[in-house]
Structure 1
């Protein structure tokens, strides 16, 4: 906890300074509230009318967590299959990269046409956003095993499955968690994008309604909620990482 406080006070100080500058600029420059409300106005609205977006926050959180879990599992499974099956990576890896060149905002309407306005197209969007960083990170971890360790396992008569479970997969855990942390922040963004396409609740819906009614303060509330959820997801993955990867040397920990 002391180390966390020692490392965290500087970013917190910068954040406080940013809000102070923002507050002073909004107040003394006489900027209209509909254009750029002061932070005090935004926080007052958030605490006063929290019931307007509380259920939307829970809905987005549930959607993001569901899509993130599914996307993470699919990302790890794809990475394992591409690694253990000979020739699979050379065939399918270019298509994985190609899948990330298709803008989600363009693909999303097609998913709605194909699967309707239910939860399935939303989960697919979040999965598409989340799985790629995990797959790439896992593949890098699988192939970056020290050669001397691989030679020792082969000389010991270890099977391919034993090499994978005892050496390659444990070696890939740090990169996998790096991919999980990236995808954790992407999952919230994917959930909000999916809610824009056709939903009756969620932070994406709250943001759209607030923007159309020129309630800029509520738009900023939605933005802050998205940032907060992404940060919480990231911290949770960091805590899980530190509880699982205890064999890493201290200099290798983050």
Structure 2
């Protein structure tokens, strides 16, 4: 009679690692991990604080005069000396930037899709768009002011002109990168052209489109400021020009820091939306 083979008590690998006894016979327990998003946010804050501290240190060590350079502490003090002044002008700039970004995103995605789906338009217009993109947007700002006046619309259209091109190029590149295998699979399953566009091509192009949106949102803020430089009586661009004329560097750098905060906040908002809409990309560290 053959001997019965003893059955080994096998433990799944994940459980074995978690509850493996440590030296001394005690069970090792891992503490709770910080979520990846929170960890990245902490690292970003630490990096920003480090840069600001280095900036302040350099200004203090070199003992630079106030008319040449000021540190972040002086800029923060200038902001809190009249916070409503900076907040009100920042709100105007944000409105102009968001209006330009929204219009630029809509037109950019539509134009990028048209270039991809209409070959004749791609051959004739794509080189033209590239040529127009090489023109400095500061040179276009006076033209928009002639067309739309000195009000809100001209600044929004300057922001739109700057935010438009990254969306066009990224939308076109995203649609062009769809693998041929997916297109063939759609044809085999007799998917309609509309279903191919909405269920495969645009879904596959979304990461590239959101990459263009992250670039465009910061450019839109800069575009609004450019419009305010040319013809503005309000907004952070006007604040910077006024501070420059008065050699008020603390106020100027306070406006720079507010602009950087706005751009960074809007960037992270778009990144958060992309994380929610593109869960399959969340594993990218």
For normalisation by structure 1, the TM-score amounts to: 0.92
Q: CA RMSD in A?
A: 1.8
- Matched residue, 2:142: 109
The structure whose residues are more often helix, as a share, is 1
CA gap of 1:21–1:243, structure 2 versus 1, over 3 A, is closer
SS of the residue corresponding to residue 231 of structure 2 reads coil
**CA distance, structure 1, for counterparts of residue 119 and residue 58 of structure 2:** 60
- Matched residue, 1:13: 46
**CA distance, structure 2, for counterparts of residue 14 and residue 148 of structure 1:** 43
Which deviates more from structure 2 when the two are superposed, residues 205-214 or residues 11-20?
11-20
- Matched residue, 1:217: 250
After superposition, what is the alpha-carbon deviation per residue over 1:139-173, rounded to whole angstroms, capped at 9, x for unaligned? Answer: 11111111111111112222322211111111111
**CA distance, structure 2, for counterparts of residue 88 and residue 203 of structure 1:** 39
After superposition, what is the alpha-carbon deviation per residue over 1:45-77, rounded to whole angstroms, capped at 9, x for unaligned? Answer: 211211222210110011111111011001011
Whether 1:32 and 2:65 are equivalent positions in the alignment is yes
- Matched residue, 2:210: 177
Contact 1:34/1:217, CA 8 A, preserved across alignment: no
Alignment of 1:90-105 (within 5 A): 90-105=123-138
Whether 1:59 and 2:92 are equivalent positions in the alignment is yes
Instruction: State the 1:44 CA deviation.
Output: 1.3
- Matched residue, 2:78: 45
CA gap of 1:203–1:147, structure 2 versus 1, over 3 A, is same
Whose radius of gyration is greater, 1 or 2? 2
**CA distance, structure 2, for counterparts of residue 196 and residue 250 of structure 1:** 39
Gaps of 5+ in 1: none
CA gap of 1:161–1:175, structure 2 versus 1, over 3 A, is same
Q: 1:79 aligned to 112, 118, 121, which one?
A: 112
- Matched residue, 2:3: none
Aligned residues: 252
Gaps of 5+ in 2: 1-33
Runs of 4+ aligned structure 1 residues displaced above 6 Å come to: none
Q: 1:231 aligned to 253, 258, 264, which one?
A: 264
**CA distance, structure 2, for counterparts of residue 17 and residue 157 of structure 1:** 57
**CA distance, structure 2, for counterparts of residue 63 and residue 221 of structure 1:** 20
For normalisation by structure 2, the TM-score amounts to: 0.83
Contact 1:180/1:237, CA 8 A, preserved across alignment: yes
Contact 2:275/2:282, CA 8 A, preserved across alignment: no
**CA distance, structure 1, for counterparts of residue 265 and residue 142 of structure 2:** 29
**CA distance, structure 1, for counterparts of residue 257 and residue 75 of structure 2:** 10
> Does 1 or 2 have the higher relative contact order (CA < 8 Å, sep 6+)?
1
